[in-house]
Chains A and B, each alone.
Chain A
Amino acid sequence: MAKIEIIDNERTIEEVQTFAGYAFEQSNLNPSIASKNNVFLTSLLVGASLVTTNETSAMESFVIENSNKNEITTTFEYNETINEGLVKYINNINVISKRKISKHSLLKDILSFKSLTESWDGYGAVPLEIESATNSIQLLDLIGENTFCTVSDFYPNPNGTITFEWDNSENEMVSLEVGNNSFSYFVEMASTNVQFFNNKLINATEAKKLSEFIQAI
């Protein structure tokens, strides 16, 4: 191959379905064969054609010739076998690529908030409390570096606690505030009402719940 091309894989399932549908329309396959189950495989086939053909005319040239129902059935079985592993792999890649800060830098910044002077904000704020800092680090370890380090912003609060925020381009957000004894957070998703969680203890169970929300962002 003459070149390696990195393709942006951030597509919604609706986009993939539309694309897969179009690909089938352009092919000689029976449209009834196309279903949600083979969306991923169809995308892979189309993707392969993009790489192996002239990229500007790939869509037009995409045709699956000499296919019949038996061949497609075979590929369905193959797809089911590999799909789970592939999805897991792609999710891992996505999490790593979303990471915005290293654990080392994050820890360094958290500790720097402890060194702030009294009234650092001009309005009587206190520096980050040592217990809030250590609780944050404990939560980071429980949630896992790959997930936690996708944090969009974090900052100390005037009363000695610390806030971490994860957001996305659709204005969805998880906002977490860690205190000396527990943590609270709210989750704002486009599809549901804002969810509020208060005074959660720092343990694996609560960290897991929080982690699931962060990963959904």
Chain B
Amino acid sequence: MLQKLKNFLSLFKLSNPKKKSSNKKIFLPDEISGNEKIIRAVYSPINLHKNGKKVNNSFYKPRAGEDEISVNRLDYTTPVFLKNLAKYFENTKERRSYFGFSLLKSSEIEDSGLRTVYSPLTEPIDNPYHADIKIDYIVEKGVQLPSEISHKIKNITIKSRFYSDPNPESEEWNGDKLI
């Protein structure tokens, strides 16, 4: 509980990680450039390929009722902020533990026939770095995706880089440089 509170408070501290004053409203360009790094936290080992070195295709599939998956714009924030954000949403009692990130360039998503849109959040916490990868198809529970969309998702998955966090409990990012 204490750790959870700590993570939550650290988000306020880090919500403006690249500026000294945290009172100013953060503005990011609406347009996401091709070179921008698009990052997503990994929680479940089931999301990893059996070789443990890359995520599998389910990682970039939306949940039922949605046509998008949540990501963040790394270029405007820091791995430390994103790690704290990820840990805020983890639930170790249900074996949902943060253990790394998967990274793509925006152009790699576009080249695969999908798109990334900027979508800052104010709830449940303020996250001005939030974006979504759109698949333009609302996923239904128990219904498989059209194979054309599965193929596009497979293509971005292949291009993604998985970064395992060597020390998930730490408040710092000690993993490889996110490139």
Residues of A within 8 A of B (CB): 113, 116-126, 129, 131-132, 153, 155-161, 163, 165, 173, 175, 177-186, 188, 194, 196-198
B61–A159 CB distance below 8 A: yes
Partner of A186, one of B43, B46, B49, B151: B151
* CB-nearest residue of chain B to A161: B144
* CB-nearest residue of chain A to B40: A123
* CB-nearest residue of chain A to B146: A198
Partner of B49, one of A117, A153, A180: A153
B141–A155 CB distance below 8 A: no
A155–B46 CB distance below 8 A: yes
B interface residues, how many (CB within 8 angstroms)? 38
Partner of B43, one of A121, A131, A175, A184: A121
Given contacts A122-B44, A125-B63, 20 further A-B contacts (CB under 8 A): A113-B46, A119-B91, A119-B96, A120-B44, A120-B94, A120-B96, A121-B43, A121-B44, A122-B89, A126-B64, A153-B49, A155-B57, A158-B62, A158-B63, A159-B61, A160-B141, A161-B143, A180-B142, A186-B148, A188-B151
Contacts of B50 in A (CB 8 A): 153
B23 in contact (CB, < 8 A):
no
Partner of A120, one of B46, B140, B150: B46
Contacts of B86 in A (CB 8 A): 122
> Top 8 nearest A-B pairs by Cβ distance?
A122-B43, A180-B142, A179-B144, A177-B144, A159-B64, A186-B147, A124-B63, A196-B147
Residues of B within 8 A of A (CB): 41, 43-44, 46-47, 49-50, 56-59, 61-64, 69-70, 86, 89-91, 94-96, 98, 139-148, 150-151, 154
Q: Tell me the smallest distance from the CB of B151 to a CB of chain A, in Å.
A: 5
Partner of A131, one of B70, B96, B142, B145: B142
Contacts of A131 in B (CB 8 A): 142
* CB-nearest residue of chain A to B148: A196
B58–A158 CB distance below 8 A: yes
Q: Tell me the smallest distance from the CB of A65 to a CB of chain B, in Å.
A: 51
Q: A122-B43, A158-B61, A159-B61 are in contact. Are A183 and B94 (CB under 8 A)?
A: no
Most buried by B among A118, A121, A123, A173: A123
